[in-house]
Amino acid sequence: MNTSAGRPSVLFVCVHNAGRSQMAAAFLTHLAGDRVQVRSAGSAPADTVNLAVVEAMSEAGIDISAEIPKVLTAEAVHASDVVVTMGCGDTCPVFPGKRYLDWALPDPAGQGVHAVRSVRDEIERRIRGLLDEIAPVRRT
């Protein structure tokens, strides 16, 4: 894997960058620390992160209340080793040599925190698997 500064980089993309991609980026940042460079973006970013998502992540011990949805750029895709899409369809630019994963996950938009919890837990499960692949902890 081509890495910047010796560490892999992952970009999470969904339409509004207000739910799924924010949760995925927060979990990877939380679990990987500085072993992975993490980005998230949306093809049509919302003004704010979904409040039910903020609450669900807070229950998991991760504060994303200060996060702001960001617009997806070709530069962000180009700078990433792995691009994980979540419902953005054909709006994500594709570059050769990048690894693309498409995670079919329910959109938490308009859902209460109860519905968001199952999406959060599935994202955490997938993040743990991805982290084991791209930046496993080396035990001596």
> Of 96, 122, 125, 118, nearest to 31 (Cα)?
125
Helix (H, G, I), strand (E, B) or coil at 79: coil
Annotation says 50 is catalytic: no
Distance, in Å, from the CA atom of 117 to the CA atom of 103, rounded to the nearest integer, reads: 17
The one catalytic residue among 88, 113, 116, 134: 88
In the residue annotation, 88 being an active-site residue is answered as yes
Is 75 considered catalytic here? no
CA 23 vs CA 9, 10, 53, 125, 140: distances in Å: 16, 13, 7, 12, 31
Q: Pick the catalytic residue from 92, 105, 116, 134.
A: 92
Residues 6+ apart with CB under 8 A from 29: 36, 38
Quick one: which H or E segment has residue 37?
strand 37-42
Among 10, 14, 49, 54, the active-site one is 14
Q: Catalytic residue numbers?
A: 14, 88, 92
